[in-house]
Amino acid sequence: MSQHQLQKIEEDRGARDVSLIAQCWFSAALIANTGTTNYGPFISAYLSDVHHSAGFCVHKIARSDWLKYLKELGYGEHLLIEIPMWAPAKKGIGKAVEHLEAASIHFAEDRANETMASCYKAFEYLAHKAGAKNPDQNGFEKLLGFIDDLEKRNKLRMLMHHLCQYFHLGRHEPGKEDVVVDRRDAEYALILSQATLAYLAKHWQKAPTKSG
């Protein structure tokens, strides 16, 4: 396959699994075992998947396997980012994870605004459980109460506050002009959200905050 064809597949794939649809035709003839080339009965037919239209066979390739095939086909270097997260027995963390799962579904459906809005909802929910109105500096100050080092806590508080301001671009608010976000924004937001929630969860696993 050419690089142009691979690039087109990547554009249409949208980070999802790949399904190959093939048409497989064959011809067969019966040849007597006499040392001659005289043909007997002859047929021509096709292979077919019983679950699809006649003549089509479908083979699904998981996205993790497809990334390996891309490399073997010479299409640059691709990394599959996976962030392990253990959700502790903390009231609210499960609901936040549900919001991120919804964001992943929206991303797979190529809905950038909804992806970013769901990322925001994950931290909005945690902020509410901590007694804050929004996932802003005040909210993250409460959520990051487990960090004793004041300088580190302040930098994380500001970082997470600005992340949520970015995620908020995906929300539609009456009376405000919508900001155009695309798949790149949604992908960036989803990765940052997963990493941030994983960071919080790993700390809460050892030292749950009072907000739980």
Tens digits of per-residue pLDDT, 116-140? Answer: 999 999 999 999 998 999 999 999 9
Q: How far apart are CA 14 and CA 92, in angstroms?
A: 31
Q: Are 134 and 166 within one domain?
A: yes
Is 64 in the same domain as 123? no
Burial class (CB in 10 A: 0-12, 13-18, 19+), 30: exposed
Residue 144 has pLDDT above 80, yes or no: yes
What are the tens digits of pLDDT across the range 58-69? 778 887 888 778
Residues 100 and 176 in one domain: yes
Residue 46: which domain range?
3-72
DSSP 88: -
- What distance in Å separates the CA atoms of residue 54 and residue 87, rounded to the nearest whole number? 47
pTM of the predicted model over 0.75 = no
d(CA 126, CA 135): 8
Axis-axis angle for helices 150-167, 112-129 (nearest 10): 140
The CATH number linked to 110 is: 1.20.120
Q: Does 85 map to a domain?
A: no
Q: Considering the domain boundaries, does residue 107 fall inside one? A: yes
- 4 φψ region: left (φ > 0), alpha (ψ -120 to 50), beta (else): alpha
Same domain, 109 and 161: yes
pLDDT in tens, 55-102: 677 778 887 888 778 777 776 554 556 666 665 545 568 889 899 999
Condensed to tens digits (0 to 9), the pLDDT of residues 169-210 reads 987 666 666 788 998 999 999 999 999 998 988 887 765 444
